[in-house]
Structure 1
Amino acid sequence: MSSTAPLPDHEVTYRKARDLILFGELAPGEAVTIQGIVERLGTGITPAREAIRRLTAEGALRATENRRLMVPELTLEQLQELTYARTGIEPQIARLAAVAIEPEDIDALEQIDEQVNTALRTGDIQAYLRYNHVFHWTLYAHSEAEILMATAASHWLRVGPSLRVMVKGGESTPIPDMHEVAIAALRDGDYEAVGEAIHNDILQGHSNIAHGLDEAD
């Protein structure tokens, strides 16, 4: 019987630090230090330094003029670039996933989306960011499109934390709910409609981010 080897400390630390950003524990504009990562994650200085190096290279962290590191706040120009990139790649991943997905997998996606909607109703930013990410990546995993998914993952590190604007004091999810549209299309076996739903879901989220950026100016 084969067993999976445990991940090295630097990889575990990287993934945990990445999740702090993706799931809103480190918000856009928040400063990040090696010592802070060490204290949050209970890791060593060397793995923390390596995690920060990788996240900086991926654009999830940015050095300010005084050389401090922070979770970057998107500009409208950067958001536009990410819109082009995400709508060009993720709908195709979703189409590929739709070809291979099984009915029980669609049921699982529906249960995850219930968690997304609960987080939106209750105004739980971290739960929303986590379950929204889980929804997309649970779907995308069925595509087995490793190269496309790796590219999409880098985009999520840049834009994911800013999706916190979708949660506004308990407001309900925007209508129509594109996750529900995607689920219905998956059940119908309509691959193109699945891709279109994910395309529109991205546009919906980015529109809310852009609105938040306009309000901040």
Structure 2
Amino acid sequence: MGRSPCCEKAHTNRGAWSKEEDQKLISYIKTHGEGRWRSLPKAAGLLRCGKSCRLRWINYLRPDLKRGNFTEEEDELIIKLHGLLGNKWSVIAARLPGRTDNEIKNYWNTCIRRKLLGRGIDPQNHGPINLFTTLETHRAVAIQTMSEGSVANVHDDEAATEKGGRESRESALELDLNLSIGLPHCSPKCSPSQANLETNKQSICRRLDY
């Protein structure tokens, strides 16, 4: 069975948090500490989901959060950690006190990636961008495209040749059919059987007269 939802979402508020809700959450956590997020909303008198309370506290309300822009030292540390850890933002955030994983991820995608590209560094593997490899890749794609076009032309020529041969065969067949529609006419003089019939007929007539 799956884990039951942390709250009845039909009876919870959604959208932006109000100042009164923020104050209730801050006061409760100052008194009872963090944790027990599933039961916290009801205990704190909030009509919110436990997950929403946790994210609101971690990303906006906890007192050790840093405000303002990232410093150059933080930028270089993020770049170094990303080169070692990849996109493990929560692990990276644990090494930058006061910064959240979501904040660091957004900052990476909007600012640091552009900074690395400007330095000629690949943001994925943190190695130099190989322009020669990029040019070779475009060249290979162009050659493949031209080759595919040549093969298509050859196929078109073969299809045209086959079509021409088929039309020639059909024309020859039509010609043979026209020639074999009727039998050639032959005169009685050319027919031996008809000549024998006339001879026999004359012989019978002479015998009867005799």
Bin for the TM-score computed over the shorter chain: under 0.3
Q: TM-score normalized by structure 1?
A: 0.26
